[in-house]
Amino acid sequence: MGRMTLEQAEGVVRAVVVYDGRLLLVREADGWGLPSGTPEPAETAQATAARVVYEVTGYLVDGTEPLEPGDGAGMTAVVCQLLSEEPSAGGRPPERLRWAPIPETAGIPLPGTVRAYLQGHTPV
């Protein structure tokens, strides 16, 4: 059987939304983190990321590419393109969201693949 190009996602999918040199973060119990969630049945990582960002933040995004490789912990990070400048009304309250300049994300625990991606996108 041939491998399907869009693989079914497993484990937790984290969304990496970068806009204008800033990373979209959501408040978690112990600080700030990436919007994340688990896939629905037969949902791709890209689709999961887009849905999770919308459900958690109200922003419309397009999941474009999973970062390779995953860290082996059943976690996938997906780079997303921001499609809406403003979140929809149903999103999180603004105090639960943060657009952090990439240099300020240094203290936030991010997966290595995400950190490497961000370093490639940090304005010099």
Annotated domain spans of the chain: 12-102
pLDDT tens-digit series, residues 51-91: 999 998 999 999 998 887 555 556 789 999 999 888 876 55
Q: Does residue 3 carry a pLDDT above 50?
A: no
CA atoms of 69 and 89, how far apart (whole Å): 35
Task: Report the pLDDT averaged over residues 109-118.
Answer: 89
Sign of CA dihedral 118, 68, 13, 109: negative
Task: Report the pLDDT averaged over residues 15-33.
Answer: 92
Fold held by 12-102: Nucleoside Triphosphate Pyrophosphohydrolase (3.90.79)
With CA atoms as reference, report the closest residue to 84 among 115, 61, 104: 61
What is the average pLDDT score of the chain? 83
pLDDT at 62: 95
Task: Report the predicted TM-score, pTM, of the whole model to 2 decimal places.
Answer: 0.83
pLDDT band with cut points at 50, 70 and 90 for residue 92: low
